[in-house]
């Protein structure tokens, strides 16, 4: 599997990254997924302290025991669990980040995190304080690099402008092209995009035509528009899954396209699709079938 550098970080990640949020609540099943990913050459694993209230980090840590030097490990911070409740509150303060990282390290079973990401962000945050926390952790060697996971252009621009962040995680796919408007800004900042939602909730896989029947729109598509677009995509594509991955990876600013997997078979489907050669003329012909929507809120 090919690798790309995240920004100017010196960290090279596999073009397909494994988003761990949808892992099953079973360690042996998780180990099977992780083993298959490593065997295929996937070296980038992304989780968050929010997922399953921290248990996801613990599962990832257990599954990767003894393999830490083989992988680039990413997690996220900012969503503070409320003691005794199911919900969480937003906390991007330096004090919280400096404490939360210790819990993530313990759950992950490691003494450093390769990529530590702010899991959201608002314009009300004290961005200077947030960045100070990441820079302090980087200086201490607790994290190697940091970035942000957000779809808010104004938050992203402020964070990049005032920091040495190397990555921006954004929902991006053939059916959600909103981030394209901001790719030049991210590139100019010396950072890379990590895509999530790469397969648009399965709409861009073989199950797409079935899944779309039960969906009442997606992003800026209304129900009718979504069904029409998904239908045209599947009618035109030789392999929708392969085209969806190739679409994201055609952008130089994209370092890795995250795929989720709740089973080994689901992961293998994406690996097979990635390895399939995609004709660039087919890719070029399918893009006009979709719309390049723009973010309506949180503008610069």
Residues noted as catalytic: 51
266 near 222, Cβ under 8 Å? no
The residue among 97, 107, 100 whose CA lies nearest residue 73 is 107
Q: Are strands 88-90 and 113-119 parallel, antiparallel or unpaired?
A: unpaired
Burial 243-254 (b: 16+ CB within 10 A, else e): bbbbbbbebebb
Over the Cα atoms of the chain, what is R_g? 19
The residue among 54, 60, 58 whose CA lies nearest residue 19 is 60
The residue among 119, 178, 122 whose CA lies nearest residue 146 is 119
The residue among 115, 52, 60, 56 whose CA lies nearest residue 88 is 52
106 near 142, Cβ under 8 Å? no
């Amino acid at each position: 599997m090919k690798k790309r550098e995240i920004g100017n970080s010196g960290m090279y990640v596999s073009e397909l990254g494994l988003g761990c949020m949808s892992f099953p609540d079973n360690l042996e099943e998780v180990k099977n997924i992780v083993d298959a990913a490593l065997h295929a050459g996937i070296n980038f694993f992304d989780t968050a302290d929010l997922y399953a209230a921290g248990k996801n980090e613990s599962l990832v840590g257990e599954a990767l025991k003894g393999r830490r030097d083989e992988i680039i490990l990413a997690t996220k911070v900012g969503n503070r669990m409320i003691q005794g409740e199911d919900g969480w509150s937003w906390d991007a303060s330096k004090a919280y980040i400096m404490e939360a990282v210790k819990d993530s390290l313990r759950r992950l079973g490691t003494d450093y995190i390769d990529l530590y990401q702010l899991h959201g962000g608002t314009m009300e945050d004290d961005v200077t304080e947030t960045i100070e926390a990441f820079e302090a952790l980087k200086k201490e060697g607790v994290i190697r690099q940091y970035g942000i996971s957000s779809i808010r252009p104004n938050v992203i621009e402020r964070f990049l402008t005032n920091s040495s962040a190397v990555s921006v995680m954004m929902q991006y796919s053939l059916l959600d092209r909103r981030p394209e408007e901001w790719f030049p800004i991210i590139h100019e900042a010396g950072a890379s995009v990590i895509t999530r939602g790469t397969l648009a909730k399965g709409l861009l896989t073989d199950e797409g035509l079935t899944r779309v029947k039960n969906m009442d729109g997606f992003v800026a598509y209304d129900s009718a528009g979504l069904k029409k677009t998904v239908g045209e995509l599947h009618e035109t594509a030789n392999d929708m899954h392969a085209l969806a991955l190739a679409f994201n990876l055609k952008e130089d600013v994209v370092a890795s396209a995250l795929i989720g997997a709740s089973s080994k078979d689901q992961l293998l489907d994406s690996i097979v699709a990635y390895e399939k050669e995609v004709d660039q003329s087919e890719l070029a012909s399918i893009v006009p079938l979709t719309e390049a929507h723009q973010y309506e809120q949180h503008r610069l």
